[in-house]
Amino acid sequence: MASPQPQTGGDDSNKPPSGATAAVLVPSDELPKDARKVQEIDFNALLTEGRGPITVDDLMTTMPFMGFQASAMGEAVRIINGMRTWRGEQPAAGEDGAAAAAADAPAKKTTIFLGYTSNMISSGLRGIFRWLVEHKHVSAIVTTAGGVEEDFIKCLGDTYMSEFSAVGKDLRAKGLNRIGNLMVPNANYCAFEDWLMPILDTLLEEQEASKGSETPINWTPSKIIHRLGKEINDPSSVYYWAYKNNIPVFCPALTDGSLGDMLYFHTFKASPRQLKVDIVEDIRRINTIAVRAERSGMIILGGGVIKHHIANANLMRNGAESAVYINTAQEFDGSDAGARPDEAVSWGKIKVNADHVKVYLEASACFPFIVASTFAKSTEASAQPAEPASTL
């Protein structure tokens, strides 16, 4: 029987299926004329002869259009520069000397809230926070108990590099405490106790002596931090400069750390008397700062109580005008730590038309570059934020 002959003529075996072609080569809509192209860093252009070394500015002017988190960093720089340079309209000039009064009125500025968690004070970022406070680039701070105590502890003893893989039981046997890939000797906390306990004694004595007077002393976390900043008298301290520049530092969880340990031990030492710390006065104080702000900006590194405390204060004014979040937390567990700024918009903590961004990076890897491209570009008084009005 003869074998069948191959078909010729209408055979399409050498052509791709029409369905596959249509699926792969879907026609593109024409993009708007103002669509931004992805921009690449051109080291050849940056390293032209006689131009000098590559700078942070060289990189940051390109990064907003690189994509991914480089673009988020660029957006953070743009928003923070907007915070620090904003000036509201001056009062309109009127009759009877109103023109002179309007000319003499202080410029309206953004009230800038800075929040960070304790691990960032433990790291080298502490020096950046200290610089921001020293030069009055922020209006108010919110941090954790560790974010307070670790600043003072660094004035009393050094923090060292370690490894994320360092074995906990071995470190425990040597009296060493690991913070990520950092290490703090227990001796530092002993030095902190020796320094802090006499101050707590003094605060208690002042509290007790003021009872029955017209102005009894009512200690709050922010007042205690202010006093500790005075007592440390060390210009390497963030809170020394907060004391010098009268920048309030709020810590609604003051007992959640070594400070809490010391307060606990002090209750036995001072018994039956006891130091009282009022958190209600502080919530009124931070909320009033937000309410009275002409314009409000939030820069929040990390999550948890510091992130929400700033955002909730801004709820009192129906939201901040600008916000920058920097953290690596994800939103999928429903936690506030991982929530994107748009979730805060739904609560009225960030305004509907606000400028906001979340940078999904660990803060020590990006915040130095962000500060170098914003606050550090100008140390003039005109770049400083609004001072919070006294609420006490």
Catalytic site positions: 349
Q: Tell me how far apart the alpha carbons of residues 242 and 235 are, in angstroms, rounded to a whole number.
A: 10
Q: Tell me how far apart the alpha carbons of residues 163 and 179 are, in angstroms, rounded to a whole number.
A: 9
Peptide bond between residue 221 and the one before it cis (omega within 30 degrees of 0): no
Q: Tell me how far apart the alpha carbons of residues 174 and 186 are, in angstroms, rounded to a whole number.
A: 9
* Residue count of the chain: 392
Give Cβ neighbours of residue 54 (< 8 Å, ≥ 6 apart). Answer: 43, 46, 47
Query: Cβ(356)–Cβ(79) under 8 Å?
Result: yes
Q: Tell me if residue 63 falls in helix, strand or coil.
A: helix
Q: Tell me how far apart the alpha carbons of residues 150 and 163 are, in angstroms, rounded to a whole number.
A: 19
Q: Tell me if residue 111 falls in helix, strand or coil.
A: strand
Q: Tell me how far apart the alpha carbons of residues 283 and 286 are, in angstroms, rounded to a whole number.
A: 5
Q: Which amino acid is at 351?
A: K
Angstrom CA distances, 329 to 159, 208, 340, stand at 26, 44, 10
**Residue found by looking up tokens 């470190």 in the block:** 171
Strand order in 176-179's β-sheet? 160-161, 182-185, 176-179
DSSP secondary structure string for all residues of 35-53: PPPP----HHHHT-TTS-S
Query: What does the DSSP 8-state code read for residue 334?
Result: -
